[in-house]
């Protein structure tokens, strides 16, 4: 049988190895689920695509972070001219009930960590 001390140590090691809670699961620094309007900082790859249909088209931005695809919405004045595939760090506010994949992130600042080479 595993003692409670061993379980606590394993949980502590796992949480340290997983990285910052806010980056890992859309949680705040206390490990609680973040709520709409909560500030978060995330790193990942920028995915830019153009959607087109009968009503018109629009340019969409997503952050690919681990296995998540998070919609990005830019405040006025935020730099949107960053090429797809760039490694970025974004700071912003969550848009919907702590679920970044559904609600997305309103970007307040964006930092380019690196750029990928253009495809031939």
Q: What is the pLDDT of residues 51-81, one digit of tens each?
A: 898 988 888 999 999 889 999 998 876 777 8
Q: What is the pLDDT of residues 12-50, one digit of tens each?
A: 334 444 444 344 344 444 344 557 788 999 999 999 999
Q: Is 73 helix (H, G, I), strand (E, B) or coil?
A: strand
Q: What is the pLDDT of residue 63?
A: 95
Q: What is the pLDDT of residues 76-96, one digit of tens each?
A: 767 778 999 999 999 999 987
Residue 20 lies in a domain: yes
Asked whether 23 and 43 are in contact (CB, 8 A), the reply is yes
The residue segments making up the domain with residue 55 are 4-114
Residue 28 lies in a domain: yes
Residue 50 lies in a domain: yes
Q: pTM for the complete prediction?
A: 0.64
In terms of Cα–Cα distance, which of 93, 91, 92, 86 is closest to 112?
Answer: 86
Query: How many structural domains compose the chain?
Result: 1
Residue 93 lies in a domain: yes
Residue 120 lies in a domain: no
Token pair 């620094």 is found at 29
Phi, psi dihedral angles at 98 (to 5 degrees): 75, 5
Residue 58 lies in a domain: yes
Residue 119 lies in a domain: no
Q: What is the pLDDT of residue 25?
A: 42
The CATH number assigned to the domain holding 52 equals 2.40.50.140
The CA-atom distances, in angstroms, between 58 and each of 43, 54, 55, 82 are 24, 12, 10, 16
Residue 83 lies in a domain: yes
Q: What is the pLDDT of residue 3?
A: 47
């Amino acid at each position: 049988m595993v003692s409670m001390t061993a379980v606590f140590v394993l949980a502590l090691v796992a949480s340290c190895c997983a990285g910052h809670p806010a980056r890992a699961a859309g949680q705040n620094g206390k490990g609680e689920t973040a709520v709409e309007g909560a500030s978060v900082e995330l790193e990942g790859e920028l995915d830019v695509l153009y959607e087109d249909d009968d009503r018109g088209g629009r340019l969409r931005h997503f952050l690919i972070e681990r296995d998540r695809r998070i919609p990005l919405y830019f405040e006025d004045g935020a730099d949107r001219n960053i090429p797809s595939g760039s490694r970025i760090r974004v700071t912003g506010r969550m848009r919907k009930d702590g679920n970044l994949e559904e609600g997305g992130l309103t970007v307040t600042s964006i930092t380019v960590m690196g750029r990928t080479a253009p495809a031939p």
